[in-house]
Amino acid sequence: MLNLWSTPRVVDQAKPRDYEVLEDIHGASFPVAWSADEQAALNDTPGVTTFVVRRGSATASRRPIGFITVRQAADEAEVLTMAVHPKQRKGGLGRMLLNAALRHLYAERVGAVFLEVDPANEAALALYKKAGFQTVGERPDYYANGQNERRSALTLRLDMDQPTLRPSATIARMVS
Ligand SMILES: CC(C)(COP(=O)(O)OP(=O)(O)OC[C@H]1O[C@@H](n2cnc3c(N)ncnc32)[C@H](O)[C@@H]1OP(=O)(O)O)[C@@H](O)C(=O)NCCC(=O)NCCS
């Protein structure tokens, strides 16, 4: 039976009023939190986009419950961070966010997406591998844990199968 009180999840782009909540989610997810001011500065950087997932009901809170930030430069992009509120995990939100970001980057004609992930982060590794990312390298001393210790990261890459443009054929069509 349809549950009228269930709250669908919607993904859209982060607004400045969301940054305080993103700080909370980031702080609950990583040893070193990105502040609301840092989120604002990052999102003002050219090529950077943050998608948030919210409850979709008109009567429910519209606070973000997860987010992903990506940065595009020419035909490459990287996932800078992603996190789902600890109480909302394992419900498909991480997958929703990653799919939204990848759809956006595909539409922007990105050919390859990179990210760094802690090799001990089973949840993130499983999510990325299911999306098609493959390990292409390792970066020593990448993560700070807030206690003067540093850990290495794996570099993952996803190739996006963009249709090849044939400039001569395209131009011929335009002028004929
Ligand atoms: C990684 C993270 C974003 C996943 O979000 P989520 O909403 O829980 O993920 P989903 O429910 O969409 O799960 C998608 C897939 O991820 C994998 N996954 C998620 N949680 C997992 C866990 N605890 N252990 C193993 N695999 C897990 C599963 O393969 C899952 O697919 P399935 O549902 O078919 O089994 C979330 O765990 C998180 O915020 N972690 C802390 C921050 C972080 O590590 N960010 C990534 C930095 S690189």
Task: Write down the pLDDT at residue 30.
Answer: 92
Domain assignment present for residue 4? The answer is no
The helix/strand/coil state of 89 is: coil
Q: Is the pTM of this model over 0.95?
A: no
- Measured from the CA of 117, which atom of ligand 1 is nearest? 48
Q: Which two tokens stand for residue 14?
A: 């982060």
- Give me Rg for the CA atoms of the chain: 18
The helix/strand/coil state of 74 is: coil
- Give the residue among 130, 134, 99 at the shortest CA–CA distance from 114: 134
CA distances from 149 to 34, 140, 152 (A): 18, 12, 10
Domain assignment present for residue 2? The answer is no
Domain assignment present for residue 125? The answer is yes
Which residues constitute the domain of residue 138? 9-175
158 forms beta bridges with: 113
Give how many domains the chain has, as a whole number.
Answer: 1
Domain assignment present for residue 46? The answer is yes
Please indicate whether residue 117, judged by its CB atom, sits closer than 6 Å to ligand 1.
Answer: yes
Please indicate whether residue 65, judged by its CB atom, sits closer than 6 Å to ligand 1.
Answer: no
- Give the residue among 70, 120, 58 at the shortest CA–CA distance from 97: 70
143 sits in the region (left: phi over 0; alpha: psi -120 to 50; else beta) called beta
Domain assignment present for residue 3? The answer is no
Domain assignment present for residue 127? The answer is yes
Q: pLDDT tens per residue, the chain (176 residues)?
A: 445 556 789 999 999 999 999 999 999 999 888 999 999 999 999 999 999 999 876 665 689 999 999 999 999 999 999 999 999 999 999 999 999 999 999 999 999 999 999 999 999 999 999 999 999 999 988 877 666 777 899 999 999 988 875 555 544 555 54
Please indicate whether residue 91, judged by its CB atom, sits closer than 6 Å to ligand 1.
Answer: yes
Task: Write down the pLDDT at residue 172.
Answer: 53
**What CATH number has the domain bearing residue 78?**
3.40.630.30
171 alpha carbon – ligand 1 mean position (Å): 45
Domain assignment present for residue 40? The answer is yes
Task: List the strands of the sheet with 64-73, edge to edge.
Answer: 9-13, 48-55, 64-73, 76-84, 112-117, 150-159, 134-144
Domain assignment present for residue 1? The answer is no
* Dist. CA 105–CA 48, nearest whole Å: 11
